[in-house]
Amino acid sequence: MSGLIIGLVAALILVILFMLFRIQALITIAKGGDRPVGTSNKVNGALMLIVPIVLLALVAWYSPIAARNFLPEASSVHGVVTDNLFWVTITVISLMFLITNAGLFWFAYKYQYKEGRQASFFHDNTRLEVFWTIVPAVIMALLVFFGWKAWSDITSEPPKEAMVVEIMGKQFAWQVRYPGVDKQLGSYDFRLIDDVAGNEFGIDFEDKKAEDDFLAREMYLPKGQPVLFKIRARDVLHSVFAPHFRLKMDAVPGMPTQFHFVPTKTTEEMRSQLNNPQFDYEIACTEVCGRGHFAMKFKIVVVEPEEYRKWYAEQPTFLEQNPQFKGKGLSDLRKKNLAKRNAEQMKEQASL
Ligand SMILES: [Cu+2]
């Protein structure tokens, strides 16, 4: 807040200076004097040096404050790559920005109007044109190439041994399903979604693979092992955002998405690194998905692989907790619907 106020005050001072200068110029003209080219030029020329220096000083003052609010070092393998890419790009762009703007402001100052000075003229300079076309083109091409390389690594096929976790977004919560002992998620169908009965995922329990699936209130992940998020949405667009892993992928209704990555630091390691015993990894929703959007937060706990295996083995399956769903699936639903339709037809016929 104080930063904003200081910025406003600085802007206001500049405006006041400008107005004073204008008034003085107008008074001179009103008095019948010559248009005071000399003074206005000098003031403008000086401002061409002062303004960029003031702005740069503001940037230099604010940068460390902004840096304090930066995310800590990435906790995933690909996160380090994206961070490097970001900093290389920012460095190149900032350098170019500084050089070109220094040139612009310096020229405006240096070559301000002076009586008797003549502008020199040249038509064109092929060597210069070639230079400032090729140099930026090569730099841009390199940046794009490294970005493309990183992106195709991140979005490539997940490793075979990756452990799968399903994340489903709905208004307004994340729900997480693990594949259980067989490491394979059971199939699902939106027609089987039944919040009242408790099958929020719409799991098809006729599928044998679904029998050992379990849901989790906190997402446990093993350190140093590839993880594959299978992401879907039940109603509207949501977005899985886990900033500490530099991970973001939309959850789209009707179009499952995925993201694979390798966590590199346990929650405990992060806590001691950040000196913050309260620290937790989390998933937040970054799609403004409705009134309860702010509540879409899910805790991730990264642990050592042994601890993860222990936790995984201890989780009760969904069917153990909800035995009424055993064997219930699509064909069961079809039978029920058929029976309902038949009953309705019978009723109709009886009433005729
Ligand atoms: Cu959402």
Query: Per the domain annotation, does 346 fall within a domain?
Result: no
288 shares a domain with 218? yes
Residue 232 Cα to ligand 1 midpoint, Å, equals 11
Q: Which pLDDT does position 78 carry in this prediction?
A: 94
57 shares a domain with 129? no
Query: Per the domain annotation, does 342 fall within a domain?
Result: no
State pLDDT tens for residues 289-308.
989 999 899 999 999 999 99
Which residues have CB atoms below 5 A from the ion given as ligand 1? 238, 285, 289, 296
86 shares a domain with 64? no
44 shares a domain with 105? no
**DSSP one-letter string for 238-285:** EEEEEGGGTEEEEEBBTB-EEEEE-B-S-HHHHHHHHT-TT--EEEEE
Question: Closest Cα to residue 298, out of 171, 166, 162, 176?
Answer: 176
Residue 286 Cα to ligand 1 midpoint, Å, equals 7
State pLDDT tens for residues 137-180.
999 999 999 999 999 988 899 998 899 999 999 999 999 999 98
Virtual CA dihedral for 200, 202, 261, 313, nearest 10 degrees? Answer: 80
Residue 17 Cα to ligand 1 midpoint, Å, equals 49
Query: Per the domain annotation, does 344 fall within a domain?
Result: no
pTM for the whole thing? 0.75
Long-range contact pairs involving 76-80 (C-beta distance under 8 Å, separation at least 24): 76/244, 76/245, 76/246, 76/247, 76/261, 76/262, 76/263, 76/264, 77/261, 77/262, 77/264, 78/150, 78/153, 78/154, 78/246, 78/261, 78/262, 79/244, 79/245, 79/246, 79/247, 79/261
pLDDT (mean) for 111-136: 88
Residue 183 Cα to ligand 1 midpoint, Å, equals 27
Residue 164 Cα to ligand 1 midpoint, Å, equals 21
Helix (H) or strand (E) holding 216: strand 214-216
Residue 295 Cα to ligand 1 midpoint, Å, equals 8
